[in-house]
Amino acid sequence: MSINKEKDFGTPASPATATVNLEIDGFKVTVPAGTSIMRAASSIGIDIPKLCATDSIEPFGSCRLCLVQIEGGRGMPASCTTPVAEGQKVITQNPRLAEVRRGVMELYISDHPLDCLTCSANGDCELQDMAGAVGLREVRYNPVETHLNALKDTSNPYFTFDPSKCIVCSRCVRACEETQGTFALTIDGRGFDSKVSPGQNQPFMESECVSCGACVQACPTATLMEKAVIDNGQPEHAIITTCAYCGVGCSFRAEMKGEQVIRMVPNKDGKANHGHSCVKGRFAFGYATHKDRITKPMVRASIKDAWREVSWEEAIAYAASELKRIQAKYGKDSIGGITSSRCTNEETYLVQKLIRAGFGNNNVDTCARVCHSPTGYGLKQTFGESSGTQDFDSVMKADVIMVIGANPTDGHPVFGSAMKKRLRQGAKLIVIDPREIDLVRNSPHVQASHHLKLRPSTNVALINALAHVVVTENLTKDDFAISRCDVASYNKWKTFISDPRHAPEATASITGVPAAEVRAAARLYAQANNGAIYYGLGVTEHSQGSTMVIGIANLAMATGNLGREGVGVNPLRGQNNVQGSCDMGSFPHEYPGYRHVANPETNQLFEKAWNAELSLEPGLRIPNMFDSAMDKTFLGLYVEGEDIAQSDPDIQHVHAALRSMECVIVQDLFLNETAKFAHVFFPGASFLEKTGTFTNAERRISPVRRVMTPLAGYEDWEITQLLSNAMGYPMNYSHPSEIMAEIASLTPTFAGVSYAKIDELGSIQWPCNDDAPAGTPIMHVEEFMRDNGKGLFMLTDYVATQERITPMFPLILTTGRILSQYNVGAQTRRTENNQWHSEDRLEIHPHDAQDRGINDGDWVGIKSRAGETVLRALISGRVQPGVVYTTFHFPESGANVITTDNSDWATNCPEYKVTAVQVTKVTHTSKWQESYQDFSETQLDLLAQGMSHG
């Protein structure tokens, strides 16, 4: 349920194109064949009473309120389950129907507490509404058996389950099955004893429930209710905005009481999520008002000093003076900045503009450096555009889905649910991952046809082997490749890939994947009507990350799996605005729209527009910034919303680099790890406090709308503007829409984008221009985006990483994410999501654990050539022998103490996914952890001192 009642048609729309004409209560209506009578009636404003039907799930026919009569037909069919028929005449209201509906309602109410006035759903209860609609005035029964004393389950931190209010409509059960695909809920018992049961009659928190909120959303009563609503009452207004967690970019309605967010409710009209959500977006927004939020600007001369709260004027002036001082002393190129994939397009655009035009250099980079920079490179080279090719809905047309190095059910849960739905419909699945992710066999009714459990770092050998099979077994779609791609490159690639060194039999010793499995998987993908590839950081975060992206692109082109629904190459983006931050020119060598800074035409375009002299030299990448800091040539850094001191590899090197800088300016919500090394702190605004746009993994530009006043007074773009003005480069935007107008005027793929159009359409997928005024769901339909319109095949020789196991470091560590926590955890660790995951653990195979005398839960030291940390062990068959795995959500885990400085050859994307380590049983934390603990405590102390004096 939600306020500002979204129209509920009762049953899902019919996809049919043929139409049917009928008459409902004397009104003529034409609807697609297969539409329910209920939906047809609703479409002309006739609302038939209903309780078990809602248009997000399939009809069920259980409540029996929606009965109608059909002229010439027998009995009273349920309008939710009865499809329309040509010429049908339907009666939705007459005394007989009213009598039966009242009879049904009377039964409901005979087993329902009559505490409406004090009920949390008061005013937002479909049962209440329907009792009113059918005119129930009396309950004549003297019930003996009831459920009124059923115990409430409050185990979930975000919602309660009160079975005494349950009407057993099964909407929650069906939402869990159909929408989320977890099947955590069922109806236990039968007849009058039927009751909703999480797992096997367990409390919600002990069941398989992933707290996505679909059940709460579906519940028509107070049975499943947000605790925030119980505590605060019903929200009074709602504003549509976009989630700030992962790259799915779900649309939400922020339901408000004044400036207080009561709940985040997934927007039914959201095109990325269609009314679905995950535990993060739905519930984990409390960080925005967490007590750790810093709401006053702060400065200090040295990181050994206590912080000092100052006015915005002073903070801005101090930061500008420091940056100017450093430039004066060490040269123009001695400062730079890092944009954030967490911030809006407008804010990102402004930061890079400040750096290029205000700082006068191109020392701007972004966290995409450490995640999807190889995607940008690889797809730009082959397809001509640095983005995924599809919209999310495309997956519903895929017949074979290949998931490479991604874990959608944890990392991109809402898209993961859509994918699982398609798999339950019968699509086949190939998983390429060193670890057994949930999709392999731990998702109900989903099982991978092939799990190619490769050794970390051997991606390219495997993709080559798959391509080898496709080419040598004549499974290529030559029509497509020849007509759509650069033929010379195709032929050259075919010759290359046909070489026996790429045969699965030859690569098996490298990848560890049996040749027969590779051949079978290649055939399955190549022979699918629609084969779709989805990949994540398991592809990019390697020394050959870019090569692998190219290998994927080659395979998709050779099999003709591009340019239509159901196919494509789809990077699953980690952060909410990775795509956007890349689009907005966050890389040191590219202006917005991926145009090289050295291109004189582009240079002139931007010089003119920005009225500034712009450098033709690409700037420093993040790792180069650190190296230059150590060389004392790069000493001032403006970091907006990124925690490089936790998230970047070889963290001890990062910390040393930060220590050696003279002015580190951090703009963030919290005193994050990087801020502990900072001299200026600008308190930023959360996504709830600002206006702008995010661009998700499917290139969808969605609105972010301010629902509350920024706690520190400014939206982030305003802070950047203040800094820019103080630096002497004037910016005078009065609203982010003006920034978007500027972006649109300078970026061909955004030419048609405006706030007005976003308001009108809800969201827009770029490219959006005169050719595609409403945006582009599927790319490369007629031709590729490359200059000559042809896809380019590139050669992808496998080169082993230098990171190799040795007797000293005999195991490979790889990393990933978990559903309940988000990246560095700055947000989710400040929510109740910790109840699901309160520490990072090291997953280790039973054999490797046995060899080392490690038991489940033991403290183990993980040592690489870069450093050492200590975690608790989790013995698990999900990892293969020789491979260990951990998440990286807690700073004290020090996952990046171990990761090394190896990186992708083309983009410097760190090789996070491959670190040779040794694991041993230990009794106490590592030296690094001890020093981290000391440092962190000192810094928090310095913060407390400043605040108490402020």
Identify the burial level of 831 via C-beta atoms within 10 angstroms of its C-beta, where 0-12 means exposed, 13-18 middle and 19 or more buried: buried
Q: Work out which of 186, 660, 769, 936 binds other proteins, going by CB under 8 A.
A: 186
Query: What are 571's strand-pairing partners?
Result: 535
**Minimal distance, residue 143 CB to other proteins, in Å:** 7
Q: Output the CA torsion 268→272→277→283 (10° steps).
A: -100
Nearer to other proteins (CB atom), residue 84 or residue 743: 84
Answer yes or no: are the C-beta atoms of 157 and 835 closer than 8 Å. Answer: yes
Half-sphere exposure of 623 (CA within 13 A, CB side): 17
**Minimal distance, residue 139 CB to other proteins, in Å:** 10
Nearer to other proteins (CB atom), residue 27 or residue 192: 192
Per CB under 8 A, 199 contacts other proteins:
no
Task: Sketch the per residue contact string, 448 through 477, with other proteins: x for CB under 8 A, - otherwise.
Answer: ------------------------------
862 alpha carbon, distance to own chain's centre: 29
Nearer to other proteins (CB atom), residue 91 or residue 187: 187
**Minimal distance, residue 426 CB to other proteins, in Å:** 10
How far lies 871's CA from each of 842, 859, 860, 893, in Å?
Answer: 6, 6, 6, 7
Identify the burial level of 904 via C-beta atoms within 10 angstroms of its C-beta, where 0-12 means exposed, 13-18 middle and 19 or more buried: buried
Per CB under 8 A, 63 contacts other proteins:
yes
Q: Work out which of 19, 43, 155, 194 binds other proteins, going by CB under 8 A.
A: 194
User: Which residues ranging from 160 to 179 are in contact with other proteins (CB under 8 A)?
Assistant: 167-168, 170
Please state whether beta strands 260-266 and 251-257 pair in parallel, antiparallel, or not at all (unpaired): antiparallel
Nearer to other proteins (CB atom), residue 145 or residue 787: 145
Q: Work out which of 150, 187, 306, 612 binds other proteins, going by CB under 8 A.
A: 187
Nearer to other proteins (CB atom), residue 27 or residue 141: 141
Q: Work out which of 86, 145, 231, 787 binds other proteins, going by CB under 8 A.
A: 145
Query: What are 798's strand-pairing partners?
Result: none
**Minimal distance, residue 190 CB to other proteins, in Å:** 5
User: Which residues ranging from 764 to 823 are in contact with other proteins (CB under 8 A)?
Assistant: none
User: Which residues ranging from 611 to 670 are in contact with other proteins (CB under 8 A)?
Assistant: none
Nearer to other proteins (CB atom), residue 68 or residue 355: 68
**Minimal distance, residue 100 CB to other proteins, in Å:** 5
Q: Work out which of 95, 191, 600, 807 binds other proteins, going by CB under 8 A.
A: 191
Q: Work out which of 39, 64, 280, 455 binds other proteins, going by CB under 8 A.
A: 64
**Minimal distance, residue 81 CB to other proteins, in Å:** 4
Give the span between the Cα atoms of 276 and 293, in whole angstroms.
29
Task: Report the sign of the C-alpha dihedral through residues 309, 315, 318, 323, in that order.
Answer: positive
**Minimal distance, residue 92 CB to other proteins, in Å:** 15
Q: Work out which of 13, 33, 76, 230 binds other proteins, going by CB under 8 A.
A: 76
**Minimal distance, residue 559 CB to other proteins, in Å:** 26
Helices in 340-486 by DSSP H: which ranges?
345-353, 373-382, 408-411, 413-424, 438-441, 459-472, 478-484
Q: Work out which of 26, 45, 72, 75 binds other proteins, going by CB under 8 A.
A: 75
Give the span between the Cα atoms of 581 and 573, in whole angstroms.
11
Nearer to other proteins (CB atom), residue 107 or residue 805: 107
Nearer to other proteins (CB atom), residue 64 or residue 276: 64
Nearer to other proteins (CB atom), residue 138 or residue 782: 138
Binding range to other proteins, per CB under 8 A, among 143-151, 321-329, 574-582, 711-719: 143-151
**Minimal distance, residue 60 CB to other proteins, in Å:** 7
For tokens 């059910």, what's the residue?
409
Q: Work out which of 16, 44, 87, 141 binds other proteins, going by CB under 8 A.
A: 141
**Minimal distance, residue 80 CB to other proteins, in Å:** 8
Give the span between the Cα atoms of 648 and 666, in whole angstroms.
16
Instruction: Name the residue among 105, 117, 123, 118 with its Cα closest to residue 66.
Output: 105
Neighbours of 437 (CB within 10 A): 25
Answer yes or no: are the C-beta atoms of 409 and 439 closer than 8 Å. Answer: yes
Give the span between the Cα atoms of 664 and 630, in whole angstroms.
14
Q: CB pairs under 8 A, 24+ apart, for 850-854?
A: 852/919, 852/920, 852/921, 853/921, 854/919, 854/921
Size of the site for other proteins (CB under 8 A): 40
Nearer to other proteins (CB atom), residue 106 or residue 892: 106
Per CB under 8 A, 61 contacts other proteins:
yes
Nearer to other proteins (CB atom), residue 66 or residue 897: 66
Phi, psi of 873 (to 5 degrees): -85, 145
Name residues whose C-beta falls within 8 Å of residue 873's C-beta, 6 or more positions apart in sequence. 841, 842, 844, 849, 854, 855, 856, 857, 858, 859, 860, 919
Q: Work out which of 87, 132, 143, 331 binds other proteins, going by CB under 8 A.
A: 143
**Minimal distance, residue 166 CB to other proteins, in Å:** 12
Neighbours of 758 (CB within 10 A): 18
**Minimal distance, residue 110 CB to other proteins, in Å:** 6
**Minimal distance, residue 156 CB to other proteins, in Å:** 24
Burial pattern 193-231, b for ≥16 Cβ within 10 A else e, equals eeebbbbeeeebeebbbbbbbbbbbbbbbbbbbbbbbbe
**Minimal distance, residue 108 CB to other proteins, in Å:** 6
Nearer to other proteins (CB atom), residue 115 or residue 193: 193
Binding range to other proteins, per CB under 8 A, among 142-150, 274-282, 641-649, 853-861: 142-150
Name residues whose C-beta falls within 8 Å of residue 440's C-beta, 6 or more positions apart in sequence. 431, 433, 447, 448, 451
Neighbours of 116 (CB within 10 A): 15
Name residues whose C-beta falls within 8 Å of residue 13's C-beta, 6 or more positions apart in sequence. 32, 35, 39, 55
Identify the burial level of 754 via C-beta atoms within 10 angstroms of its C-beta, where 0-12 means exposed, 13-18 middle and 19 or more buried: middle
User: Which residues ranging from 239 to 258 are in contact with other proteins (CB under 8 A)?
Assistant: none
**Minimal distance, residue 74 CB to other proteins, in Å:** 11
Task: Sketch the per residue contact string, 4 through 43, with other proteins: x for CB under 8 A, - otherwise.
Answer: ----------------------------------------
What phi-psi label fits residue 857: left (phi over 0), alpha (psi between -120 and 50 degrees) or beta? left
Q: How many residues does the chain have?
A: 950
Nearer to other proteins (CB atom), residue 111 or residue 643: 111
Name residues whose C-beta falls within 8 Å of residue 478's C-beta, 6 or more positions apart in sequence. none
How far lies 140's CA from each of 96, 464, 621, in Å?
Answer: 19, 74, 76
Nearer to other proteins (CB atom), residue 67 or residue 403: 67
Task: Sketch the per residue contact string, 77 through 116, with other proteins: x for CB under 8 A, - otherwise.
Answer: -x--xxx------------x--xx--xx-xxx-xx-----
**DSSP conformation class of 453:** -
Nearer to other proteins (CB atom), residue 14 or residue 827: 14
**Minimal distance, residue 401 CB to other proteins, in Å:** 21
DSSP notation for 268-335: TT-TTTTT---HHHHHTTGGGG-TT---S-EE-SSTTSPPEE--HHHHHHHHHHHHHHHHHHH-GGGE
**Minimal distance, residue 35 CB to other proteins, in Å:** 14
**Minimal distance, residue 54 CB to other proteins, in Å:** 16
Nearer to other proteins (CB atom), residue 132 or residue 189: 189
Nearer to other proteins (CB atom), residue 145 or residue 771: 145
Residues that bind other proteins (CB under 8 A): 59-64, 67, 75-76, 78, 81-83, 96, 99-100, 103-104, 106-108, 110-111, 140-145, 167-168, 170, 186-187, 189-194
